[in-house]
Structure 1
Amino acid sequence: MPFHDMLVDRYGGIVKIRGFFGTEQLYISDPRALQSIILKDQESFDETSVFLETNKVIFGPGLVSTAGHQHKRQRKIVFPVFSVAHLKGLTPVFYEVAERVGAFTAPTFSNVLADVIDTEASRNEDSVIDMADWMARAALETVGQTILGYSFDPLDSPHNNQYTSAIKDLIPTLFKLSLVRQLAPFLTRLGSRDFRRTLVEWTPVPAVQAVKGMSDVMYDTARGLLRQKQEEVKRGVVQDRKSVIGALLKANDEASAADKMDEDELIGQITVLIFGAQDTTASSLTRLLHTLSLHPEVQDKLRNEVAEAVSEGGRLEYDAVMSLPWLDAVLKETMRLYPPVPFVRRTTLKEQAVPLADTSNLPAQIKDAGSVTIPAGTIFFTSIAGANRLESVWGGDAREWKPERWLQGDRAAVTGVERLPGIYSGIMSFLGGERACVGYKFAQLEIKILLVTLLQRFRFAPTKQNGEIVWNLSQILSPSVRTQDGKERKGMPLGVERVI
């Protein structure tokens, strides 16, 4: 991430860089250019063929691996599934998982690290827990219960299951195959599907075999669950709770023949929705807990707000959860400053001139025009993290974590002269336009309910007994512990104290 930050800090909102095999690429964070790319001229830009073809191999033909008419057709069916009305019905399910997380972890604290004592609070016994691992498991179980009505992980043992491990390791493993992935558009057209499968099985590269295994776990699970739900519908089985897959199957059945998705597309949607809702949400939750541990005064304000709202010890309804001002501010500010996905790649489908807000570091001809023309076929990075930290948008304190900037509303938070095309309060973390995250409201609710439940029961504090927490970039940011000898291991240990 320091390299990405340097590109924006030193060179400005649009930078020419060299990519694989010396190709000329762009790194873009300029707000006016992003308005053109994400909204105004979005038909001129799309995902790269490497991204689409790789995702198609791993997830199937879901939203992250389709483009053009097929993508619009799928989005038309999937987007309404995440309506506010449907999310309100799922709120109790979110609570059930959140409360299980709290119920399981609390009694085991003294057994996890009984020998760890906080010398600055000797009257309390401290426990250190890897919250990254628990947030990954909680996010998967929440997604499983709400999207599929299925339990991936009952959270009643200290171990991950097969699906959790597959999702957790997929992105880091794919990052190791960055060079191989550049060949995906060619390899996916090589011979028949069976031939390509055999070719993969014969490839003596551990990372390739690992990705194949992860993809198989996700595909087989999604296909089995889809057929189970379809069979239940045929038998007229009445579900005792709502699920996203139920709404998706209903919407697909009611769609016109031209819009209806086939089985492979439905499997693709399920796999993408589970993966997309789990990995980024787990990263966001882990970052939120880490950040709150570093700002105990804000953590206390948030806990007091929650305690006041939950005066009778019951669950908050959807509207109450979503209207808590400090909770909303903390989530928005953390997503702004620390987006779990700091950039995405795009390609230019046809030559397009994009306007620029800042031309101070650019050649005279670009300054005079106030825009730059991007040739067709150009690969570029859309810098989410860079745009989210622009002083021209957020003001002089753009690089500071200040949740209070949101307490007066979204418009008050944007203090600069420029605006971003983000679907979520002008933040780029869920993107915008036709490639915006369809489940961004789902993610907000999931994160807020988990935080509400955890903060009622626990206080989180940083701990340095195990080393320094660092955030690694492998497309989705994830934490590791770096020890004094420079070695790193995955995870984010925090001191956890029961408050009730």
Structure 2
Amino acid sequence: MISLPEVILASTISWIGWKALKGFVLASSLDNLPGPPSTSIFHGNIGDLLSYDGWNYHRHILATYGRAQKISGTLGSRVFLTCDPKALHHILVKDSQFYEMSTGRNKAYMGEGLVGVSGEQHRKQRKLMTAVFSTKHVREMIPLFYEVTDRLCSTLKSKLHDGPQEVDIHNWLTRTALELIGQCGMDCSFDSLSGEGTHHPCAKAIKQFLPLASGSFGFVLNPLFPYINNWNFPRLKRFIVEHIPLDRVQKLKHVVDVIYNNSREIIEKKKSALASNDEAVAAEMMEKKDIITTLMRANLEADEDNRLTDEEVCGQVSYVIQTFIFAATDTTSSALARVFHILSMDTVAQDKLRKEIREAQRNGQLTYDQLVSLPYLDAVCRETLRLFPPVNLPSVRIAGRDSMVPLSKPIIGKNGKEIREIMIPKGTNIMVSVTGSNTDPDIWGVDALEWKPERWLSALPKSLEEARLPGVFSHMMTFLGGSRGCIGLNFSQLEMKVIMAALLSSFKFEVAPKHKITWKMTGISAPYVEQFEGTHQALPVLMSLVSD
């Protein structure tokens, strides 16, 4: 007798076979676009884009085939990859309702949170979450930021008391970013910043999430998630997942369970405190500035039409925990590690930045307004995020209908004719090239691939203004654009600047001898040290105290 798992497996294989046959046999309007030859029958060019040095392949195909091209996806599918400004505005802003993010995987992993829903449900949640991440609220968090960075500096000063030492700055930046989001996001501590590391179960689970869920594994499964989410048999789905004989699936299941259970626990504790008859407890909850407490207060105050359900609130908590721990932690620590790696090699820029920071600190700890107005600090942050965005993987949208996408600059098709607009068939995966947009020499100038903070201290190129890129931050696509632009932009910027000001005012950074540093694109880019037995994630630098 055939078992249910065998029926499901056979059905899945048949569905995959049909998708592959359809991709290879049926013609598409995208076939006339230039693009690289497929390098794999199974995953097309996706494996090359998601490899450790995927940005080199990415830049190669952009330089060779242009701003708008067709690449091969999984099982012979066509993927439209673009960094054309007009096309990006059309997809992310003008007709964004027809180009939704692939939310199926996020919904399966994180529930009914902001990154797992679309349409009106996303609009309602975004409205509530935007208030939580407003400049006004982020400004009020700065005492929490300083409390954490003071602990970091105190520990590092004690380690460097006897003179310069080699320090893995990436490890300390990751731990600091994790503690910041713990304190500012959830009103809890993940790391004292005094010992060797954190042992908090939720934090450990989150650190495993991205490696397990991303890469070719995640991209190949993307088409299945909408069907999985629409199949309303939770117990049966759980039974199937528990019996899938893949170690990666079982580890991912455990990680998601830990995060979900932690989310429910946080919600119940805060709901109880907010509803407490103890006036002191209720008053304390009204004064808390962390993101989740603020979100729950805002939800209680919202009118009924805009109020979130308990399941949606749980989804938001999972969103804050997952997205802001693995995204805000890893992306910010990646960007900061890149800054300190560059500054350890460019001591002139480091000295210039330190001078600016220390002069501003003469009258004491910097206020929010002082911190965000330091011109060279701002320029270093912007230029690093432009040239080295922590998330280099193209952002994916799915065409919800057949539609024409205009181009700002015509391309030549395979038939030799000029193309000014492209028909995108319904269901097509569209890859928004952040790297291509941020380094396009036609937009940024011939020095687009150079790290030059000074470009932000004078008038930007006219070509950049005319391009009208839809990015939510400084004409660049690092934080994406439109209704799916990064909602934590203000938080991330403040986090970077507080940590940079704290460390650069107290410590000097130099290149650590005898180490070869390689940056790899592992979902979120990270530095690796090459050793005899292989590589491991780290950024050793030579640190010393700055004399007063």
TM-score (norm 1): 0.90
Alpha-carbon separation, structure 2, partners of 1:287 and 1:208: 32
- Paired letter, 2:70: K
Matches within 5 A, 1:214-293: 214-235=255-276, 236=279, 237=281, 238-239=283-284, 241-274=288-321, 275-276=323-324, 277-293=328-344
Deviation (angstroms), 1:337: 0.5
- Paired letter, 2:176: A
Matches within 5 A, 1:437-456: 437-456=486-505
Partner of 1:195: 236
Alpha-carbon separation, structure 2, partners of 1:336 and 1:185: 33
Deviation (angstroms), 1:183: 2.9
Please give the secondary structure, in 1, of the residue aligned with 2:525: strand
Residue 480 (str. 1) matches residue 528 (str. 2): yes
Decide whether the 8 Å contact of 1:392 with 1:418 is kept in 2.
no
Deviation (angstroms), 1:265: 1.4
Residue 165 (str. 1) matches residue 216 (str. 2): no
Partner of 2:138: 87
- Paired letter, 1:377: G
113, 132, 146: which one aligns with 2:184: 146
Alpha-carbon separation, structure 1, partners of 2:387 and 2:519: 13
Deviation (angstroms), 1:105: 2.3
Judged with a 3 Å threshold, the aligned counterparts in structure 2 of structure 1 residues 19 and 464 are, in CA distance, closer, same or farther, namely: farther
Please give the secondary structure, in 1, of the residue aligned with 2:190: coil
206, 214, 218: which one aligns with 1:175: 214
CA shift digits 1:151-208 (9 cap, x unpaired): 1222221122233332223212223533345433334445621222222222222211
Q: 5+ unaligned residues in a row in structure 2: which ranges?
A: 1-54
Please give the secondary structure, in 2, of the residue aligned with 1:230: helix
Identify the range of structure 1 (96-105 vs 396-405) with the bigger mean alpha-carbon deviation. 96-105
Partner of 2:12: none
Partner of 2:360: 309
Residue 422 (str. 1) matches residue 442 (str. 2): no
Q: 5+ unaligned residues in a row in structure 1: which ranges?
A: 111-123
Alpha-carbon separation, structure 2, partners of 1:414 and 1:461: 37
Decide whether the 8 Å contact of 2:379 with 2:454 is kept in 1.
yes
Deviation (angstroms), 1:133: 1.9
Deviation (angstroms), 1:9: 1.1
Please give the secondary structure, in 1, of the residue aligned with 2:320: helix
- Paired letter, 1:470: T
Alpha-carbon separation, structure 2, partners of 1:14 and 1:456: 45
- Paired letter, 1:95: Y
Alpha-carbon separation, structure 1, partners of 2:345 and 2:255: 35
Residue 399 (str. 1) matches residue 461 (str. 2): no
Residue 469 (str. 1) matches residue 523 (str. 2): no
Please give the secondary structure, in 2, of the residue aligned with 1:482: strand
Percent identity of paired positions between Structure 1 and Structure 2: 35
Judged with a 3 Å threshold, the aligned counterparts in structure 2 of structure 1 residues 43 and 200 are, in CA distance, closer, same or farther, namely: same
Partner of 1:207: 248
Decide whether the 8 Å contact of 1:136 with 1:164 is kept in 2.
no
Partner of 1:436: 485
Judged with a 3 Å threshold, the aligned counterparts in structure 2 of structure 1 residues 203 and 2 are, in CA distance, closer, same or farther, namely: same
Alpha-carbon separation, structure 2, partners of 1:101 and 1:234: 35
Alpha-carbon separation, structure 2, partners of 1:106 and 1:218: 34
Please give the secondary structure, in 1, of the residue aligned with 2:381: helix
- Paired letter, 1:281: T
Alpha-carbon separation, structure 2, partners of 1:223 and 1:37: 36
CA shift digits 1:201-225 (9 cap, x unpaired): 2222221122122222222222212
Please give the secondary structure, in 2, of the residue aligned with 1:373: strand
Please give the secondary structure, in 2, of the residue aligned with 1:133: helix
Please give the secondary structure, in 2, of the residue aligned with 1:431: strand
- Paired letter, 1:136: T
Partner of 1:339: 389
Decide whether the 8 Å contact of 1:393 with 1:420 is kept in 2.
no
Runs of at least 4 residues off by over 4 Å: 363-366, 411-417
Matches within 5 A, 1:103-118: 103-109=154-160
Decide whether the 8 Å contact of 2:67 with 2:84 is kept in 1.
yes
